[in-house]
Amino acid sequence: MEKSPYLPFIEKVKTSIAQDTFVRLSLSKKRKADDELKKIIIRVSIIKNTRHLTFVYRYPRKDITKNYPLEKAYVELLALMQKYFLIYNLFTTIADWTLEHLPKGNIKTKQKPPTFSATPYRLHDKMKNHLIAKADYLYALGILNAQGNIKKDKGDKYKQINKFVEIIDALLKNQKDFRQKAPLKVVDMGAGKGYLTFALYDYLHRQQNIKTEILGVEIRKDLVDKSNAIAEQLSFEQLHFEEGFIQNYELPATDILIALHACDTATDDAIAKGIAAGAQLILCAPCCHKQIRQEIKDSNTFHSVLRHGILKERQAEILTDTIRALLLESKGYKTKVFEFISTEHTGKNLMIAAQKHHRQVDCEFFLSEIQKLKNAFGIGEHYLEKLLRG
């Protein structure tokens, strides 16, 4: 390695790792246009209490992840720099360095102020109890502290994230064709702080090795900007957030539509847009069932229930989501309604999962079931009916 022009740059990598200022290293701009290897992202991880470098090799249709002890990692890094790429970006908390091959064959190194002020959480092999246990995005989102422990006020959120990934894991077993799609298109409507959006991206990319493009739609610009910054920090290159309202957002062709805790009829807007966009999987966790509650009419049959405000509210929730499930079934979806997360951890605990099938559908049956419910409770029209009618 003594005569290599890359040695000074590799020494900077070594120093940053020794000083624990290393954030990430990226190798990009292929030397040969026909090479399938597009890019490599390198991070520090802890395996059996020893620092390693984790290399993520990015190809057009898949990512391959390999872990190397430091000395082997430096040998691999040198070989890659000599053979595959022309630009190398080292990010540390002290400074950023770029090594670039110029057109005439010269090599230029530039130093810039640091992009990142803190190092990411180091992935640790001992955290094996959950599907999300090794996810470094949990540190970036403030779920884990600097020691890798769950923060006291984030325990419920951690359980919710893990449960969400478990649900996705189970549902994907029935969506084997997703692996053949390149890339899988996912939209999260009402992404909020992005906890579940990041979890889904990490699960699909890192654990399932499925090429995925995920878009988070959120009305609050500050959350959009923060989420995009974290995605960049983590090199989640196909995860983006945009500012927008669910009601008037133009949804592109979509494979998976997610709407968790969209308020009142915003859930219906998301479902309708997912159906129109051809989503094969729709997941929603509704809240604030105001529309049907306001339409329910008292009757002799259900007076004993509806005279109690809390029971009327719960009945409205049941009716709202039952009609949503029936409408989805009328559009060719197999629908399940189940507990998302125990009420011990959140009050918003119901989830509707709808998976598209291609069997013949008896629309009249489902619509007649809806009409029976509306007649029984004096309901005029569910908002989702109106949206689907156009």
Is residue 371 situated within a structural domain?
yes
- Boundary-marking domain end, from 56, 85, 112: 112
How far, in Å, CA of 55 to CA of 363, rounded? 51
CB-based burial label for 76 (10 Å; 0-12, 13-18, 19+) = middle
- Tell which residue, 349, 340, 374, has the closest CA to residue 287: 349
Is residue 119 situated within a structural domain?
no
Question: Same structural domain for residues 183 and 279?
Answer: yes
Is residue 366 situated within a structural domain?
yes
- Boundary-marking domain end, from 77, 112, 147: 112
**Chain center to CA of 147:** 24
pLDDT of residue 96: 94
Helix (H) or strand (E) holding 185, with range, is strand 184-189
pLDDT of residue 131: 63
Question: Same structural domain for residues 166 and 67?
Answer: no
Q: Which domain holds residue 51?
A: 7-112
pLDDT (mean) for 10-21? 92
Contact 21, 118 (CB under 8 A): no
- Helices 266-276 and 309-330, interaxial angle, to 10°? 10
State how far the alpha carbon of 1 is from the alpha carbons of 43, 85, 279, in Å.
Answer: 22, 18, 52
How far, in Å, CA of 42 to CA of 351, rounded? 37
Asked if pLDDT for residue 145 goes beyond 80, the answer is no
Q: Write the pLDDT tens digit of every residue in 232-251.
A: 888 898 999 999 999 889 99
| pLDDT > 70 fraction of the chain, expressed in percent and rounded | 90
pLDDT band for position 71 (cuts 50, 70, 90):
very high
Is residue 34 situated within a structural domain?
yes
How far, in Å, CA of 88 to CA of 90, rounded? 7
pLDDT of residue 294: 76
Residue type, 95: A
Question: Same structural domain for residues 265 and 167?
Answer: yes
Asked if pLDDT for residue 270 goes beyond 50, the answer is yes
Q: Residues 358-382, buried b or exposed e (16+ Cβ, 10 A)?
A: eeeeeeeebeeebeebbeebebeeb
pLDDT band for position 303 (cuts 50, 70, 90):
low
Pairing of strands 39-47, 123-124: parallel
pLDDT band for position 133 (cuts 50, 70, 90):
low
Domain count, the chain: 2
Question: Same structural domain for residues 199 and 324?
Answer: yes
Q: Residues 203-238, buried b or exposed e (16+ Cβ, 10 A)?
A: bbbbebebbbbbbbbbbeeebbebbbebbebbbbeb
State how far the alpha carbon of 156 is from the alpha carbons of 227, 246, 346, 347, in Å.
Answer: 20, 26, 8, 11
Is residue 272 situated within a structural domain?
yes
Question: Same structural domain for residues 89 and 143?
Answer: no
Question: Same structural domain for residues 152 and 51?
Answer: no
Question: Same structural domain for residues 330 and 358?
Answer: yes
Is residue 117 situated within a structural domain?
no
- Tell which residue, 285, 268, 275, has the closest CA to residue 346: 285
Quick one: residue 209, left, alpha or beta (phi over 0 = left, psi -120 to 50 = alpha)?
left
Q: Write the pLDDT tens digit of every residue in 104-117.
A: 778 889 999 988 77
Question: Same structural domain for residues 163 and 310?
Answer: yes
pLDDT of residue 128: 46
Give 95-101 contacts, CB < 8 A, sequence gap 24+.
Answer: 97/9, 97/12, 99/6, 99/9
Q: What mean pLDDT, rounded, does the chain reach?
A: 85
pLDDT band for position 132 (cuts 50, 70, 90):
low
Quick one: residue 211, left, alpha or beta (phi over 0 = left, psi -120 to 50 = alpha)?
beta
Q: Write the pLDDT tens digit of every residue in 27-67.
A: 988 888 778 888 999 999 888 778 899 998 988 877 888 99
Q: Is 377 helix (H, G, I), strand (E, B) or coil?
A: helix
